Chains A and B, each alone.
Chain A
């Protein structure tokens, strides 16, 4: 690798690492599952590096990355368009247009989530962690605990909404009265 390319690579890695979570959250809002999101994040990283010489370091990396990721997500969506949970194109466009503007909000909410999780009673937090552990099969889990998957989802839903409410409270302007 030539020296300049080496520098370039370091700059890329640094910028990408800094924004990977933001980018993930943006892509997540466009696609039905985490697996889809993982794939598009990877594909986007490759394309971003390939096109990195077109990126002006003085400009906002995240804006540029969102443009690329949106295109990749759209291409991915077309491949799997027969899946019932894929957004129609009009919905997809609206979600992407507005999502770009909310990157900072998402980051604040993510920070609030950590606080909210920490404040949860331990057994509830353990339950949420378990439910979100990769590879977990709800049916088996529920059967082992002698319960139905419906009850499992019901509880997960309740805890998730509770977290959502907590985040909304935490991120709201603190001084209303």
Chain B
């Protein structure tokens, strides 16, 4: 199979091809293109591929036009903009044109700057922050950053801050039960809630027992316990409409009791303490400091683990310094040098830093001599997006016999492989550097998890004949190491964190593997840690919930 790729061409050559396809190439450029074609077989091959795709797309265009005939009849209204069709456009094409003008082109003109496929996530709201939140056993465990759609959000205890896409913000104290109806409407049947509604979200509707509350701007509190509601206007104005009753306006300082059957009775203010986001913030900082201290003692204990090969937490005294290997006794030879990776906030902003590998050349280089009998790799990462086909976590430079590659595929699957024999061809993929096998986890990451810290661990265990992957302390997959892929003497040598140093092929999609995200710490062990030990690592090093 031809393995030349469009990206192998120079920018000039790429532009020539597009201009040729669009019929806009100048005679001079066409002459240069032809001269280059005679010299360059890669260009010829890629050009044939590009032309064939152009042809296939026209096929799609033809079918698209036919498919669009029907909707056109329904979608285009007579009063809409009059479009003049030249007489020679076939009816189907005219229909397609009219149809798409209403959709594709309008969107195109307003969003011309977006690039690349955009995996989209759907929902009405997002969980902004959680504090001491807990969930009933029958309920899903929610995380910060989770999207909420049309569903019931049940909080057993603790506090949650939910940001609706209308702009309204809801702080909930458990136990609570909130049903989300849209970005503009929710139903509270239990719980203590504070609503903050900016001008853009005016009109946000909150249903309480027997009553509908419409926020006309700023802030109110609602408490529902045992079917009895209590509303207080903290600032601004709300409208309350009891079942079968008249709508009433309540302004700042007003409070009413709600009943299931409708009638409202005036109440005193200040009887209920509604959850407060400010207090939430400061308590959150205190708990962060406590978590960070907990992590520090974990770190100091782990550094003495005799099975450690190296342990990096990416904290440095100054940006010019190397990343210290924290293993005790200390061996400066194992320190890592930082190239282009940028220091950023880690899991405890302001308290601990992490490294970001967003730039394609970003990496941390290490040299780890020695021979090992098993590998366990464990890290805290925050993935912003999986931009590459393969996104590096920890990669042996030349991927020679015994060296590991630990990475994430663009579909979110974790991958761990060790070169079994670099002198033998890989029967499945002759282009590969040698005989090896990649052990994949099921996809464990998707776009909605962007920006979320997670603990990843993978174990290569020749003795136990198994490769296992773990996410947040839980085992997600395990696969057997077959005889022909068994290798017992493992090495690392020169290697990189967050990128790949020495790709054996130059194609950009293959060679560029920087992780678009942050790493807070990474530990390498010369041992196969068991499932319980990995769960323990996660527990001891986590930041509150994360």
Within 55-83 of A, Cβ neighbours of B (below 8 Å) are at: none
Q: Which residues of B contact A160 (CB under 8 A)?
A: 18, 21, 50, 53-54, 57
Complex alpha-carbon distance, A123 and B100, angstroms = 10
Residue of chain B at shortest CB distance from A137: B86
Contact residue among B41, B52, B81, B407 (Cβ-Cβ distance under 8 Å from A110) = B52
Q: Let me know if B93 and A153 touch, CB within 8 A.
A: no
Q: Which residues of A contact B117 (CB under 8 A)?
A: 119-121, 124, 162
Is there an interface contact between B18 and A157, defined as CB atoms closer than 8 Å? yes
Contact, CB under 8 Å: B105 / A145: yes
Cβ of A101 to closest chain B Cβ, rounded Å: 9
Other-chain residue from A105, A141, A154 in contact with B1 (beta carbon distance below 8 A): A105
Bound Cα distance from A146 to B405, whole angstroms = 50
Query: Residue of A at shortest CB range from B100?
Result: A130
Q: Which of B80-128 contact A (CB under 8 A)?
A: 81, 83-84, 86, 88-90, 93-94, 96-97, 100-101, 103-109, 111-112, 115-118, 120
Whether A132 lies near B105 (C-beta < 8 A) is: no
Judge whether B53 and A175 touch: CB under 8 Å: no
**A102 at interface, CB cutoff 8 A:** yes
The reply to whether B431 and A176 form a contact with Cβ atoms under 8 Å apart is: yes
Chain A residues closer than 8 Å to B81, beta-carbon distance: 144
Neighbouring A residues of B200 by C-beta, 8 Å: none
Q: Residues of A contacting B60 with CB < 8 Å?
A: 117, 128-129, 132
Q: In residues 23-78 of chain B, which contact A (Cβ within 8 Å)?
A: 23-25, 27, 30, 34, 37-38, 41, 44-45, 47-62, 64-65
Contact B48 A99 (CB under 8 A): yes
Establish whether residues B88 and A109, one from each chain, have CB atoms under 8 Å apart when the complex forms.
no
**Mostly helix, strand, loop or mixed at chain B's interface?**
helix
> Is B184 on the interface with A (CB-CB < 8 A)?
no
CB neighbours of B204 from chain A (8 A): none
Q: Which residue of A lies closest to B419 (CB)?
A: A177
Q: Smallest Cβ distance from A19 to chain B, in angstroms?
A: 14
* B417, A29: Cβ atoms closer than 8 Å: no
Known: A98-B45, A105-B1, A130-B104. A167 touches B97 (CB 8 A): no
What is the bound-complex CA distance between A132 and B54, given in angstroms? 9
Residue A95, interface by CB 8 Å? yes
Please report which residues of chain A, range 111-139, place their CB below 8 angstroms from some CB of chain B when the two chains form the complex.
113, 117, 119-121, 123-124, 126-137
Q: Is there an interface contact between B44 and A98, defined as CB atoms closer than 8 Å?
A: yes
B62 engages A144 (CB within 8 Å): no
Chain B residue nearest to A110 (CB atoms) is B56
Which stretch, B3-11, B321-329, B342-350, touches the partner chain A? B3-11
* CB of A2 closer than 8 Å to a CB of B: no
> Are A134 and B49 also in contact (CB < 8 A) when A84-B27, A129-B60, A169-B509 are?
no
Q: Does B390 contact A (CB under 8 A)?
A: yes
Flag if B97 contacts A141 (CB, 8 Å). yes
* Closest-CB distance, B407 to chain A (whole angstroms): 7
**Smallest Cβ-Cβ distance to B118: which chain A residue:** A121
**Chain B residues with CB under 8 A of A15:** none
A147 touches B109 (CB 8 A): yes
Specify which chain B residues have a CB less than 8 angstroms from the CB of A29 in the assembled complex.
47-48, 51-52
Chain B residues near A113 (CB-CB < 8 A): 53, 56-57
A28 touches B65 (CB 8 A): no
Output the least CB separation between B15 and chain A (Å). 9
| Least CB separation from B104: chain A residue | A126
* A164-B96 contact in complex given A145-B108, A176-B429, A177-B407, C-beta closer than 8 Å: no
Most buried by B among A95, A120, A129, A174: A129
Q: How long is the Cα–Cα vector from A68 to B420 in the complex, in angstroms?
A: 50
A136 to B89 alpha-carbon distance, docked (Å): 7
Contact with B along A142-163 (1 / 0, CB 8 A): 0011110001111111101111
Asked if B61 contacts A133 (CB within 8 A), the reply is yes
Report yes or no: B52 in contact with A28, Cβ–Cβ below 8 A. Answer: yes
User: Is B100 touching A94 in the complex (CB atoms < 8 A)?
Assistant: no
Across the interface, which residues of B come within 8 angstroms of A7, CB to CB? none
| Chain B hits for A155, CB < 8 A | 108, 112
Q: Which residues 501-546 of B have a CB within 8 angstroms of A? A: 505, 509-510
Residues of A within 8 A of B432 (CB): 173, 175-177
Please state if A173 and B429 are interface contacts (CB–CB under 8 Å). Answer: yes
Closest approach, in angstroms, between the C-beta of B467 and any C-beta of chain A?
Answer: 13
Is A8 part of the binding interface, using a Cβ–Cβ cutoff of 8 Å?
no
Closest to A121 in B: B118
Known contacts A24-B55, A134-B62, A169-B509; A164 and B97 CB within 8 A of each other = no
Which B residue's beta carbon lies closest to that of A151?
B112
Given contacts A147-B112, A169-B509, A172-B3, contact A91 B61 (CB under 8 A): no
CA distance A33 to B96 in the complex (A): 22
Q: Chain A residues near B106: list those with CB within 8 A.
A: 145
Q: Is A16 an interface residue (CB 8 A)?
A: no
**Binary contact track A8-32/B, C-beta < 8 Å → 1, others 0:** 0000000000000100110011001
Residues of B within 8 A of A33 (CB): 23
**Nearest CB on A from B473, distance (A):** 25
Which residue from B37, B53, B120 sits with its C-beta under 8 Å from A164?
B53
For the complex, give the distance between the alpha carbons of A134 and B59 in Å. 9
Q: Given A25-B55, A98-B48, A144-B105, verify A175-B389 contact (CB < 8 Å).
A: no
* Pairs A–B under 8 Å by Cβ, sample size 26: A25-B55, A28-B52, A29-B47, A34-B55, A90-B38, A94-B38, A94-B44, A95-B48, A98-B44, A102-B48, A109-B49, A109-B52, A123-B108, A126-B104, A130-B96, A132-B62, A136-B61, A137-B89, A145-B106, A165-B509, A167-B49, A172-B509, A175-B426, A176-B510, A177-B390, A177-B417
Q: Which 8 A-B pairs have the closest CB atoms?
A: A132-B61, A129-B64, A126-B104, A135-B89, A145-B105, A135-B93, A25-B52, A29-B48
Residues on A lying within 8 angstroms of B by beta carbon are 21, 24-25, 28-29, 32-34, 37, 84-85, 87-88, 90-91, 94-95, 98-99, 102, 105-106, 108-110, 113, 117, 119-121, 123-124, 126-137, 140-141, 144-147, 151-158, 160-165, 167-169, 171-177
7 further contact pairs, Cβ within 8 A, besides A25-B52, A105-B1, A127-B105: A28-B54, A94-B37, A98-B44, A98-B45, A102-B45, A109-B52, A155-B108
